[in-house]
Amino acid sequence: MNAADWLPLFPLRTVLFPGGVLPLRVFETRYVDMVRERMKADAPFGVIAIRSGSEIGNAAEPSTVGTLAHIVEWDMPELGVLLLETRGGERFNVIETRVQANQLIVARVEVLNTTTDILCDSALAACSDMLETVISDFMDQAREQSDAAFVNPFPEPHQLYSPGWVANRWSEMLPITLEQKQALLEIQDDGARLIKIEQYLHENRII
């Protein structure tokens, strides 16, 4: 993405990680219009955690790092309501923001390159093995429930040998605060993020 482009932001009380699945129910006019424009352009929007303010009404104050959200499925079950399934793409850093008259926030951003310079072989082995078990158990339960509205949070391919993919899936699942999830998202190195995850899992006797 060119840093000169203005990216529409969707501030939420959640953190979207690269490769993650985020269902959204969109009903505010500013966001319905924004989503329609992005679908027409076949372009992503930015999901970013709220630092202060609300998801509804006046523009909230966003964090400085977010994730591109690509629309993979959509439906309009009733007039003025869009149901979306989005997939997390690359992380980005906010350079500058503007609030439009309709309170939609747009931003100039730079895409953040991810590195894996910190060795994390032992952390990857431990976290990957447990994640594989978690996914298997989750999918078994999902098949038993046969819920037509089910959205799979672990779409294939499962990249169990990727430090970034494994760290991001754990980051989504951990029962930690929004601020802690945001801090994990902002870690530049996938190996460093995974080591943080392994420490948490050990401290809480998950692995």
Per-residue pLDDT of 40-60, as tens digits, reads 999 999 999 999 998 888 899
CATH H-level, domain 121-203: superfamily = BPP1347 like domain (1.10.4060.10)
Whole-number pLDDT of residue 148: 65
Buried b (16+ CB within 10 A) or exposed e, 151-167: eeebeeeeeeebbbbbb
Q: Work out the burial of residue 69: count CB atoms within 10 Å of its CB; fewer than 13 is exposed, 13-18 middle, 19 or more buried.
A: buried
Tokens of 20: 């993650």
- pLDDT tens for each residue of 77-89: 888 899 999 999 9
Burial of 63 (0-12, 13-18, 19+ CB in 10 A): buried
Q: Write down the architecture of domain 6-111 according to CATH.
A: Roll (2.30)
Contact 9, 45 (CB under 8 A): yes
| pLDDT of the residue at 1 | 47
| Rounded-to-integer distance, Cα 30 and Cα 205, Å | 44
- In a 3-state reduction of DSSP, which class is residue 102? coil
- Which of 12, 105, 98 lies closest to 56 in space, CA to CA? 12
Q: How far apart are CA 134 and CA 119, in angstroms?
A: 24
> Coil, helix or strand for 8?
strand
**What confidence score (pLDDT) does residue 151 get?**
82
Q: How is the chain split into domains, by residue range?
A: 6-111, 121-203
The parts of the chain modelled with pLDDT lower than 50 are 1-4
Residue 2 is predicted with a pLDDT of: 47
- Could you tell me the end-to-end alpha-carbon distance of the chain, in angstroms, rounded to an integer? 39
User: Cα–Cα distance between 182 and 149 in angstroms, integer?
Assistant: 28
pTM for the model stands at 0.92
pLDDT of residue 51: 94
